[in-house]
């Protein structure tokens, strides 16, 4: 697992480096707020269709080939971003990256292959920690390279750095990572994508978990997509300030998912931790609209980071534990597809709300969605603890 962690971390540094800069990059080409939020959804819109396909493919041919292809294509997409000369090129490059976004589902399936059920949440937390650390180093690096001045910000170099990082991750998979999928566990059937999704939604617990994931990520993605625009209007912030705040969020995510999630899961169980995470996310979104300065923003972002750090690995662990050994990649791919759909709906809806009802309206809307997810989560039955796994 340490090797996988390092590879995913390197790849996600590039991801974290680029995401906070995209709104400023699009604005340079004259994009409206709605066009900015749509740009942030293109990746997710395409991966919505392709994530289950990559997950199912990883169940049949192994995790390693999927990781190689996805990291290599990510490098090409970042290279295209770096040399984009028009707004449509930004959309096309993000679509290319989304089309081969099989790395996270494959990495989660890899974790499921090499962990026991009682350690599953801790393993999923490792992927989350890689996300968190990626959003520590990435936004800080991107903000430092781009600079504070919106007019003269260097937005090309961060994209080229992200390209190099993805190529490094790809080389790491080829040179170091061993295949985790046991030949006996490889999927033999050829269940179609629609049948896979229908089967997941037909499972009562999985349907609840996927619904909770959809609502929570819609809320969080809407906040992410409009935060830079909100901060520009409220505090006249530029790329560096936004990048540094996202770096702080990444620190908390890494601490929670890399160190805290294991002991907390053993003590309380994934189900309770999932509900606690949703409560923290709702509270963070509730605080953010009234932020009058940096202190309130830090409090809000702390609640959001800790909430996501508790919710996401707990939810992924529960999905994995309710899946069969030969369908880990497939169902985790469905989970990634639902997440992708959320990241399409969230920014688009938030962009409309931002334009029509004011800059803070996406945050209020998010509170309602997360509380609905919390209510749905109250009906998720608790899994029996594994032997030797006492819980409060």
From 143-147, 178-182, 332-336, the region with the lowest mean pLDDT:
332-336
Range with the largest mean pLDDT of 82-91, 129-138, 183-192, 243-252: 82-91
220: nearest Cα among 76, 366, 103, 376: 366
**pLDDT tier for residue 389 given thresholds of 50, 70 and 90:** very low
Higher pLDDT, 328 or 118: 118
DSSP helix/strand/coil, 130: helix
Do the beta carbons of residue 113 and residue 4 sit within 8 Å? Answer: no
Domains of the chain (ranges; CATH) run: 2-178+203-377 (1.20.1250.20)
Range with the largest mean pLDDT of 72-76, 178-182, 208-212, 240-244: 72-76
Single pTM value for the model = 0.65
Do the beta carbons of residue 225 and residue 347 sit within 8 Å? Answer: yes
Q: What is the dihedral of CA 106, 118, 215, 32, to 10 degrees?
A: -40
Q: Residue 80's pLDDT is what?
A: 94
- The percent of residues above 90 in pLDDT, for the chain, comes to 17
Mean pLDDT, residues 342-355 taken together: 84
Q: Residue 283's pLDDT is what?
A: 94
Residue 102 pLDDT greater than 60, yes or no: yes
Q: Residue 323's pLDDT is what?
A: 63
Count Cβ atoms below 10 Å from residue 31 Cβ, excluding itself.
19
Do the beta carbons of residue 279 and residue 374 sit within 8 Å? Answer: yes
d(CA 325, CA 346) in angstroms, rounded, equals: 32
Range with the largest mean pLDDT of 5-9, 163-167, 186-190, 263-267: 163-167
Residue 128 pLDDT greater than 80, yes or no: no
Higher pLDDT, 299 or 292: 299
For 113, 216, 252, 316, 324, the CA distances from 320, given in Å and listed in that order, are 10, 19, 25, 6, 8
pLDDT in tens, 259-284: 777 788 778 888 888 899 999 999 99
d(CA 245, CA 222) in angstroms, rounded, equals: 17
Residue 374 pLDDT greater than 90, yes or no: yes
> How far does CA 184 lie from the centroid of its chain?
31
Q: Residue 388's pLDDT is what?
A: 43
Two tokens, residue 372: 């609905």
Two tokens, residue 103: 């790395």
């Amino acid at each position: 697992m340490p090797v996988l962690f390092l590879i995913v971390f390197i790849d996600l540094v590039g991801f974290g480096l680029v995401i906070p800069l995209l709104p400023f990059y699009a604005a340079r080409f004259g994009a409206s707020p709605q066009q900015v939020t749509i740009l942030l959804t293109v990746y997710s819109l395409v991966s919505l269709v392709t994530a289950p396909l990559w997950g199912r493919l990883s169940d049949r041919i192994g995790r390693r080939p999927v990781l190689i292809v996805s990291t290599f294509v990510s490098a090409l997409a970042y290279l295209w971003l770096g040399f984009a000369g028009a707004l449509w090129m930004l959309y096309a490059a993000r679509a290319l990256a989304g089309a081969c976004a099989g790395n996270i589902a494959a990495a989660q399936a890899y974790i499921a292959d090499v962990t026991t059920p009682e350690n599953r949440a801790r393993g999923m937390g490792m992927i989350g920690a890689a996300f968190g650390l990626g959003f520590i180093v990435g936004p800080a690096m991107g903000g430092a390279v781009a600079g504070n001045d919106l007019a003269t910000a260097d937005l090309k170099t961060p994209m080229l750095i992200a390209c190099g990082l993805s190529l490094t991750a790809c080389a790491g998979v080829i040179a170091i990572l061993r295949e985790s999928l046991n030949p006996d566990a490889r999927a033999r059937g050829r269940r179609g994508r629609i049948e896979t999704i229908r089967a997941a939604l037909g499972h009562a617990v999985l349907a609840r978990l996927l619904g909770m994931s959809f609502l929570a990520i819609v809320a969080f993605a809407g906040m992410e997509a409009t935060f830079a625009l909100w901060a520009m209007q409220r505090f006249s912030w530029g790329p560096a300030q936004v990048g540094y705040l996202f770096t702080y969020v990444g620190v908390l995510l890494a601490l929670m998912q890399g160190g805290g999630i294991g002991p907390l899961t053993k003590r309380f169980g994934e189900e309770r931790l999932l509900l606690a995470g949703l409560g923290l996310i709702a509270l963070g979104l509730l605080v953010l609209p009234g932020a009058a300065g940096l202190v309130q923003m830090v409090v809000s972002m702390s609640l959001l980071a800790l909430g996501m750090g508790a919710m996401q690995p707990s939810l992924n662990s529960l999905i994995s534990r309710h899946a069969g050994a030969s369908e880990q990649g497939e169902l985790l791919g469905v989970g990634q597809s639902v997440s992708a759909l959320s990241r399409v709906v969230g920014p688009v809806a938030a962009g409309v709300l931002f334009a029509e009802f004011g800059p803070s309206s996406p945050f209020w809307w998010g509170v309602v969605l997360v509380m609905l997810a919390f209510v749905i989560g109250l009906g998720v039955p608790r899994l029996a603890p594994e032997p030797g796994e006492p819980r409060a």
